[in-house]
A and B are shown apart, each in its own frame.
Chain A
Amino acid sequence: MTPMLRTLCLALAALGLSAMPTLAQNGPLRIVIEEGVIEPLPFAAPGFLAENPSAAEFADQITRVVAADLAGTGLFREIPQSAHIARISNFDAPVSYADWKAINAQALVTGSVALGSDGRLNVKFRLFDVFSGQPMGDGLQFGGGSGNWRRIAHKVADQVYSRITGEGGYFDSRVVFVSESGPKDQRLKRLAIMDYDGANVQYLTDSSAIVLAPRFSPDGNRVLFTSYETGFPRIKMLDIASVTSQPLADLSGNMTFAPRFSPDGGTVIYSVEQGGNTDLYALALGSNQPVRLTNAPSIETAPSFSPDGSRVVFESDRSGTQQLYVMPVGGGEPTRISFGEGRYGTPVWSPRGDLIAFTKQNAGRFHIGVMRADGSEERLLTASFLDEGPTWAPNGRVIMFTRESAGAGGSAQLYSVDISGRNLRAVPTEGAASDPAWSPLLP
């Protein structure tokens, strides 16, 4: 483990972010923990070199996206290029560590970009631990069409993030969400998809019918959502590549909502309303034979699978108020896991399996929080007039959710926060937005 990695692990461990043991301080520590706030790790990202003139604009933009990805985590701080002493003029030349040490850069990211006559980009990068004077891992190169330059930049940043934190990356991912417009009593809603950072927005439905709560398939190619296009809430499944959708199954006569895929993508679990009572059902895709999982006079909704597919967490008001329960995937006696004050809803199992994110209402406020799968170690990450609907980044370290402001002019906005409650930030979208669902890491 390099000193840089050790430093960050120390910071993460102090925040309860990692199960790694706290290591004794040695080597050049540069992260200072004060009142639970870590000092972000300083890095330098000198402009990636353009190997040919036509690559210059891409090289500049890719450098900016890599730096923005890293700085956006709150774990890293970019040292502006104006403060750099050294200049990188050759991607393969030895690095003058002293010059980077002098400006206190702990990590150095260098890169080069070539644009072929076929329109394909080739992007190389290297990562250096400045204070130990060594490369961190081997250099890597990514190739792809120039239209994918942002994705290539995200892949570079994912590599840097992973090598320094020891966690999986999450930058090369997408978010499907509900784009909102119009007044509060006549809100127009349509499905949209974008990169995790708000770039490359594409609309997937028009706004002729209310649409709610999209959810990705595990392969990221399909989206389940609830649509009112029949006049009644019904689950539909949309193929992203062809932007076509169809009803999940012929479940006539009922309202169906709150769908979610199983981890293997073969089953959908969802809520069905009949005669005022809402219960959970599972449907194997390709069949028209739903299996009833709960049978209670209370509301059972918002189901989410454990990543190993063996259990389901959901919300129920069987105790009198909304609370969280876990049951075996085939149904059976649920175990209540939420016992704090207030009401708990919209549980979502982390892709790492360790935590369950939820919405909590208490004393007139809404919170996004996380707890262990057995309900222990509850911590609230946010508080506002109305926060709801968490979704996990592919690495299980960051949560995105909907924050709605109060009043006649209130509107919804996407926010993200890490699982320590740090780095709360608005996700940029063109207009109002709600109900985010984070994709898996793209291949």
Chain B
Amino acid sequence: MNKLSMILLLAGALGVSACNNPDRFGAGGADGAGGAGGGIMSAALGDPNDPNSPAYFNQTIGDTVRFAVDQSVLTPESQNVLAGQAQWMNQHPQYNAVVEGHADEQGTREYNIALGARRAAAVQEFLIAQGVSPARLRTVSYGKERPLAICSDEACYAQNRRAVTVITVGGGV
């Protein structure tokens, strides 16, 4: 737990609010690309080569799966990623997760919330089928409110139609 203690310490020092915050590890894939803020967070997340670190979960396994337009079906590639996520969660019971569902901007606001919820639930169901306890998983939909990529064409939309598994410290869900 030394590493975890360090994470919490750093998170506290950075003013990241405490438990119940689904964004506590930096909104999942949002910091994976290593932007200005991403550099700071990945120090706190540990080494992506350390299989016990959140960074390993986020970056090496991959915390994000993508969806086709208006779909919530998991592709074979997505299932591989999620199988890795489930295995990691099964090996690290001290973590829970919030699965965030997102949609691209090509839809009305409320429908997109419902669509994002479908995507998050598809991931949740897959993780449960792989042995993760339902009690460790929650879902939230952001609809089109939190795009990852901000252009208005398919290159960005494809990145925004996603579900991100955001791991949190146990007991916080």
Give chain A's interface residues, CB within 8 Å of chain B: 183-187, 189, 210, 212-213, 228, 231-233, 255, 257-258, 271, 273, 275-278, 299, 301-302, 315, 317, 321-322, 345-346, 359, 361, 385-386, 388-389, 404, 406-408, 410, 435
Give chain B's interface residues, CB within 8 Å of chain A: 20-22, 30, 70, 72, 98, 105-111, 113-115, 117-122, 124-125, 138-142, 145-152
B111 and A276 form a contact (CB under 8 A): no
Q: A276-B72, A299-B115 are in contact. Are A212 and B150 (CB under 8 A)?
A: no
Given contacts A213-B110, A231-B22, A231-B140, 4 further A-B contacts (CB under 8 A): A186-B146, A257-B113, A276-B125, A359-B108
A359→B109 CA distance, assembly (Å): 11
A185 and B118 form a contact (CB under 8 A): no
Q: List 21 A-B contacts (CB under 8 A).
A: A185-B147, A212-B113, A212-B145, A213-B109, A231-B22, A233-B141, A257-B110, A275-B125, A276-B118, A276-B124, A276-B125, A301-B111, A302-B110, A345-B107, A361-B106, A386-B105, A407-B150, A407-B151, A408-B150, A408-B151, A410-B150
What residues of chain A lie closer than 8 Å to B106, measured between beta carbons? 361
A385→B105 CA distance, assembly (Å): 10
What residues of chain B lie closer than 8 Å to A275, measured between beta carbons? 121, 125
A278→B147 CA distance, assembly (Å): 22
Q: A233-B141, A276-B117, A276-B120 are in contact. Are A302 and B111 (CB under 8 A)?
A: yes
Q: A184-B147, A232-B140, A346-B110 are in contact. Are A276 and B20 (CB under 8 A)?
A: no
For the complex formed, measure the closest distance between the CB of B136 and the CB atoms of chain A, giving whole angstroms: 15
What residues of chain A lie closer than 8 Å to B147, measured between beta carbons? 184-185
For the complex formed, measure the closest distance between the CB of B116 and the CB atoms of chain A, giving whole angstroms: 9
What residues of chain B lie closer than 8 Å to A187, measured between beta carbons? 145
Report the nearest B residue to A299, measured CB to CB: B114
For the complex formed, measure the closest distance between the CB of B155 and the CB atoms of chain A, giving whole angstroms: 12
What residues of chain B lie closer than 8 Å to A361, measured between beta carbons? 106-108
What residues of chain B lie closer than 8 Å to A185, measured between beta carbons? 30, 146-150
For the complex formed, measure the closest distance between the CB of B143 and the CB atoms of chain A, giving whole angstroms: 8
What residues of chain B lie closer than 8 Å to A386, measured between beta carbons? 105
A231→B72 CA distance, assembly (Å): 22
B150 and A278 form a contact (CB under 8 A): no
Instruction: Report which of A228, A273, A346 forms a contact with B108, defined as CB distance below 8 A.
Output: A346
What residues of chain B lie closer than 8 Å to A410, measured between beta carbons? 150, 152
B20 and A231 form a contact (CB under 8 A): yes
Report the nearest B residue to A276, measured CB to CB: B121
B122 and A276 form a contact (CB under 8 A): yes
Q: A231-B22, A408-B150 are in contact. Are A210 and B145 (CB under 8 A)?
A: yes
For the complex formed, measure the closest distance between the CB of B6 and the CB atoms of chain A, giving whole angstroms: 24
What residues of chain B lie closer than 8 Å to A359, measured between beta carbons? 108
B152 and A271 form a contact (CB under 8 A): no
Report the nearest B residue to A322, measured CB to CB: B111
A145→B2 CA distance, assembly (Å): 66
| Interface-centre pick from B30, B72, B114, B141 (highest chain A CB count, 10 A) | B114
B150 and A231 form a contact (CB under 8 A): no
For the complex formed, measure the closest distance between the CB of A77 and the CB atoms of chain B, giving whole angstroms: 36
For the complex formed, measure the closest distance between the CB of A228 and the CB atoms of chain B, giving whole angstroms: 8
A34→B151 CA distance, assembly (Å): 41
What residues of chain A lie closer than 8 Å to B141, measured between beta carbons? 233, 255, 273
Report the nearest A residue to B145, measured CB to CB: A210
A301 and B110 form a contact (CB under 8 A): yes
What residues of chain B lie closer than 8 Å to A404, measured between beta carbons? 105
What residues of chain A lie closer than 8 Å to B146, measured between beta carbons? 185-186
What residues of chain A lie closer than 8 Å to B150, measured between beta carbons? 183-185, 407-408, 410
A274→B121 CA distance, assembly (Å): 9
For the complex formed, measure the closest distance between the CB of B146 and the CB atoms of chain A, giving whole angstroms: 7
